[in-house]
Amino acid sequence: MLVDLLAEIQRQSGCETGVGLESVVSLELFFEGNDDLGSIGCNLADHPGIEYFHATLLALRERPDVDDVRVGISEVMGDDEWPFSDHVYVVASASAAEVLRSTAALHPEPELGSDWWTGSPPAIEIPIPEGQRLMTLWWD
């Protein structure tokens, strides 16, 4: 729920506003209890819905060639609003084309980033097992 999500963002960032190092949270923490279409993919003309985002990213994470999918927090709005994200991190041995194909219904930007979205690492280190790489799906 929102209270737990905000507490984790504060814990990771080390400050009350969540400003500083980027927080990265699990799919469960970001999506459970979330019904705010503005929290992710808000630029999409035909938003598929928060539940669909969650289900699609869960299905991606369950693939045998994907190790993890986490949500990068771009902005903390306030105590009564869901934080905003414009990107998720994918740790996978799957190719970029396969990741994009698996998430096509979410309409991420067609180019996967292979670097930290913000230009600096998130507050927590994302483990990348041998043979896997970090990719960033994002929505402009």
Contact 100, 109 (CB under 8 A): no
What is d(CA 82, CA 31) in angstroms, rounded to the nearest whole number?
A: 10
* pLDDT of 31 higher than 90: yes
Given a cut of 90, whether residue 17 has pLDDT beyond it is no
**Average pLDDT of every residue of the chain:** 89
- Using alpha carbons, list the distances in angstroms from residue 74 to 14, 19, 80, 132: 15, 9, 16, 24
Tokens linked to 75: 């902005």
Which pTM was predicted? 0.90
Show the tokens assigned to 50. Answer: 């928060």
Query: What pLDDT does residue 21 have?
Result: 72
Q: Summarize pLDDT for 64-99 with one digit per residue, the tens.
A: 999 999 999 999 988 899 999 999 999 999 999 999
Which two structure tokens, joined as six digits, stand for 89?
Answer: 């991190």
Adjacent-strand bridge partners of 136: 89, 113
